[in-house]
Amino acid sequence: MKLYRTAAGCVVEEDSKYYRLAGRSIDSLLEREDLPEYLPDLIAEIKPTGELHATEMLAPIGSQEVWAAGVTYFRSRGARMEEAKDSGGGDFYDRVYTAERPELFFKSTASRTVGIGGKVRIRADAHWSVPEPELTLVVSPKGRITGYTIGNDMSSRDIEGENPLYLPQAKVYNGSCALGPGILVSDRALPDSTEIMLEILRHDHVAFSGSVALTELKRDPKTLVEYLLRDNSFPHGCFLMTGTGIVPPSSFTLATGDRIRITIGPIGTLENEVA
């Protein structure tokens, strides 16, 4: 079962049928502890309507904060150690990869986040920018994983590499986050074999493509959520990106007009153009 947000309200997709939920805000749904059990009951009382087009879909976020985990894949550890070696910061990434406490950082709010078809941005003062395709957890106020979406943790690698203390500037800026297309509503873990796929198109040619399976994710999603909620409350629930395992080569940087396509089979495809 999938949940989408549109300008006219939320829509549930089940068995290729679409149920429009009148008068239910995304907040009122994401605040529920019982979302996976509640939605089937709700649509049982509604008649399905015509198709939902991607152009109607908005980022599936309301008042939630978006947080992110870092260095959760071996590939991310290596790339970060390399980019930070001149600043002396490389060692931090190795240490956090093996530490018990994960790296968790604040990533975005709805105002900095775009949905499918929206434009993500590269910072004007950055010269090395990449997308980070990440499985993103939908977390209830009490810390239950009630769904999954696709996240793009847009990152300025030169700023991050210059000094690890610049991380918030490398990660949090207007248009630095994309979420969508919708939410796969489920509290069941996705199979380890699930692939995250990234394709970057430039002038209709594939400039970069890569994939990683969830089996490479070093941290258990439930443990990441448990750390995030320690002494930290989320009355509207929150999103938690689980880190990237796909890093383009160091010679690659995003450019205006590039199209970033991220696919996670059970969730869908999130496509955004770079502004």
- The CB-of-132 to ligand DO4 minimum distance in angstroms stands at 5
Residue nearest to ligand DO4 (CB): 70
Measured CA to CA, the distance from residue 4 to residue 19 in angstroms comes to 10
Cα separations in angstroms, 191 against 23, 182, 185, 215, 245: 34, 19, 15, 8, 16
- Choose between 10 and 246: whose C-beta lies nearer to ligand DO4: 246
- The CB-of-19 to ligand DO4 minimum distance in angstroms stands at 34
Among 42-50, 178-186, 196-204, 239-247, which window interacts with Mg ion (CB under 5 A)?
Answer: 239-247
SS3 readout for 128-191: CEECCEEEEEEECCCCCEEEEEEEEECEEHHHHHHCHHHHHHHHCCCCCEEEEEEEEECCCCCC
Residue 102 partner contact from Mg ion, ligand DO4, none using kind-dependent CB cut-offs of 5 to 8 Å: none
Measured CA to CA, the distance from residue 26 to residue 3 in angstroms comes to 9
Looking at residue 212, its amino acid is: V
- The CB-of-171 to ligand DO4 minimum distance in angstroms stands at 7
- Choose between 146 and 156: whose C-beta lies nearer to Mg ion: 156
- Is residue 163 within 8 Å of 170, Cβ to Cβ? no
- The CB-of-39 to ligand DO4 minimum distance in angstroms stands at 30
- Choose between 134 and 271: whose C-beta lies nearer to ligand DO4: 134
Picking from 89, 261, 110, the residue whose alpha carbon sits closest to that of residue 159 is: 89
- Is residue 108 within 8 Å of 155, Cβ to Cβ? no
Interacting residues of 61 by C-beta distance below 8 A, sequence separation 6+: 5, 26, 110, 113, 179, 239
Let me know if 88 is exposed, middle or buried by CB neighbors in 10 A (0-12, 13-18, 19+).
exposed
Binding mask 128-167 for Mg ion (x = CB under 5 A): ----x--------------------x--------------
Residue 80 partner contact from ligand DO4, Mg ion, none using kind-dependent CB cut-offs of 5 to 8 Å: ligand DO4
Segment 244 to 263, residues that bind Mg ion, using CB under 5 A: 244
Residue 212 partner contact from ligand DO4, Mg ion, none using kind-dependent CB cut-offs of 5 to 8 Å: none
- Choose between 65 and 132: whose C-beta lies nearer to ligand DO4: 132
- The CB-of-147 to ligand DO4 minimum distance in angstroms stands at 20
Residue 76 partner contact from Mg ion, ligand DO4, none using kind-dependent CB cut-offs of 5 to 8 Å: ligand DO4
List residues near ligand DO4 by CB under 6 A.
68, 70-72, 76, 80, 103, 132, 153, 160, 167, 243-244
SS3 198: strand
Residue 2 partner contact from Mg ion, ligand DO4, none using kind-dependent CB cut-offs of 5 to 8 Å: none
Picking from 115, 152, 120, 147, the residue whose alpha carbon sits closest to that of residue 263 is: 152
Residue ranges in contact with Mg ion by CB under 5 A: 132, 153, 244
